[in-house]
Structure 1
Amino acid sequence: MTTWPDIASSAQDALGGLPAGTRLVAGNACGTPLTLLRELGRRPASAGAVVLTLGITLGEPDLAEAATSGAVRVRAWHVHGEIRALHREGLVDYLPLRLIDVPEVVLDRTDVALVRVGPPDADGWCSLGPSASYTLDAIRRARLVIAEVADDMPRLVGDGAVHVSELDRLVASEVPMARYEPVVPSAVSAAVAAHVGAILPAGATVQLGIGAIGDAVAAEVSRIGDAASLRLHGMLSDPMIPLVDAIAARGGAPVQVVELLGSPQLMAWADGNPAIELHDSQRIHHPREISRIPSFVSVNSAVAVDLAGQVVAETVRGGVISGVGGSADFAEGAHLSDGGMRVIALASTTAKGHSTIVAGHAASDLVTASHYNVDAVVTEHGVARLRGRTRAERRDALISVAAPEHRAALATA
């Protein structure tokens, strides 16, 4: 007989009675439990501080009031959107963390998991919707699981479901799913993407990061992908739909993903779609698993690359803007893959015209990838191949893909 969880009349009831010191973790990306987070954001300081740890948080969780009063201490291993703004105000602690380390570092120390699920089917199974990165693991390790239930969660093939008996409290949610809006490629990002597409080997399996460059490369990979028999891995967004459809049409195996990041149109397309499979990070992100995929190409963006090849992707002038996330996991797997490649793709200048190819990084910035963990750096000016090159050769290659107006200064730095 299925054991049903408590049905709370409101999010306030569902979160009621959490003692000071309680450690919570919330679901990720488009699976962000906005109803529960907004209620947590109304926690009074008199109730005592709880600790909330987050990954990619989309939408508007409205945590500012509780973070300011000290009712909720917020930690995040990926600083995005509202969480980035709170971090600038000193209200969020940054936790540098690879995604494959989340279970051991965060979930093993979690008291309460806050998740978003779809309503149970006839057999009691609830969809985790667009995000399986660590959600199921959080549910099974936390002492208390509070789930908001929403009708807009797609049901995906794979490991994206939890039985209702594993949930302790349910609360209905009328808040729409958090959205990720792809960025329309600019002329510069499209040029970067074209250079990335030109170096992808036929039959490669490609992983892409999020952001303007990632979205541009996604569009380019989808454009050239079927002719080159390309595959995708890790994350899907709206621009990737045509390539996934093409892979299915040619009889290819389902694309394995850990997240869907996109619009309601993406979610509707993914609902019940056998062309994709949702799995957790320990399967999708783990370098051991990735190493078994031949010609795996990891493509991630960055803030800046110095002339030694060191990559800063988490910070701007010392302020955190993102996180390590899965980039290190994918890069390590690509290095171990037969024919794999680790690519950093970025525009050669910032919006203010500053060079992103730099002589050296500021002391306050965090180096996300070391100089020996990058095979190629791509800008709109071309490809700097670093693997197997000396420091002097790497320096010359990187200067060659910098913006022309900055090359002389870099050469004499």
Structure 2
Amino acid sequence: MRRRAGRRTGGGRLAALAAAAAVAAAGLGACSDENPAPVGVAKVASTLGPGEGGLNLLALPGSVESGTTDPRVDWVTPFQERTGCKVGVKLVKTPQEMYDLMRDKGRRYDGVAAPPEVAGRLVAENQVTAVNTSLVDGYKKLEPKLRGLLKQDGKYYGVPYVWGANLLMYDTRTVQPPASWSALFDPEQARRYSGKLIVRDSPLSIAEAALYLKGHDRKLKIGDPYSLSPRQLAAAGRVLARQRPHVLKYWEQPADAISAFAGGAAVLGEAGPYQVDVLDRAGKPVQAAEPSEGLTGWMDAWMIGARVQHPNCMYQWLQWTASPDVQQQVAEWTGVAPANPQACSGDRLRAGFCGAFHVGDRDYIDKIMFAHAPTRVCGGKSKKTDCTDYAEWTKTWIESTQA
């Protein structure tokens, strides 16, 4: 089976960031008081009935495949035949487009496959409804840490779908094994490989710069790299601005990172297990390092829309996409780790894939600091409201990385 280009980051740089910047300028960041609960918000389901015959989903490319991209890749048609729920999918180019559509009161999506920069904001703005996990067969088979990422006030707002870690990838012929994020973010170290660095093109990449600062400048007192005060965010922005002259490419699609390393143009940068796996199997001299400050990661989850029209079909979809056989297809096609470790049981996925992506390795997963949408509410027990939200992160990212 041919694989996609792996974990997508949200499409074109200018389109995505310009849209997010417009949100920032309008003051519509996460947790805004100007975003009341939508009219007719669905209640949490207590029982399930027969399917309603339809299902309207919102997703980024690759999350929902019906054989149109590749006839061998289809987990929609069997679902429709089994349940009678006809699936309609709106594919979006960027997470920002996904967020905007879910907030549009004139649209009603039953479900959305949300990345972390979208999921947290949808929960905060009541654009999704809690999931009754007892109605999702196989839910308890999903990775425990992943299940807890979208838990709030005792309720679960998503069913884990896929996940991955952010690593330091390096060319073994040129770069000594890096031990820290400082290899990428410290100005003196970055200068060694000037013009040969690659960085993920996402405001959430600020978190890796924050981790570097956590060890480099302890006076900043950085804890959660996704919950930054204005002072901490500004410091991370300065790190990125100093790094910018040495960056070859802010990569949008994983294939861009692969081609940069395969051709020798890049020797050090942010990547994921997918790129490392592909390049290693192609015989390229690359390896991945786990920075001493810690690993960051991400999870996409299926969420139920606040204005869901087909709740029974949506719950059947949640069960279907959590099943080992579908998880195997999704993982192989998208080049990311499945949320259900049973996707690696039997002969579903090759052992090399499961090892490279650390599927089922709970010690490894527990080390990962998974991304969440930055909000003004800081993490921890104090629940202070002096942190920065995703709109502010986007503004800082644009100002720090655009030439």
Same fold (TM over 0.5): no
Which structure: greater helix fraction?
A: 2
Q: Name the one with the larger strand percent.
A: 1
Give the TM-score of the pair, scaled to structure 2: 0.29
Which has the greater radius of gyration?
1
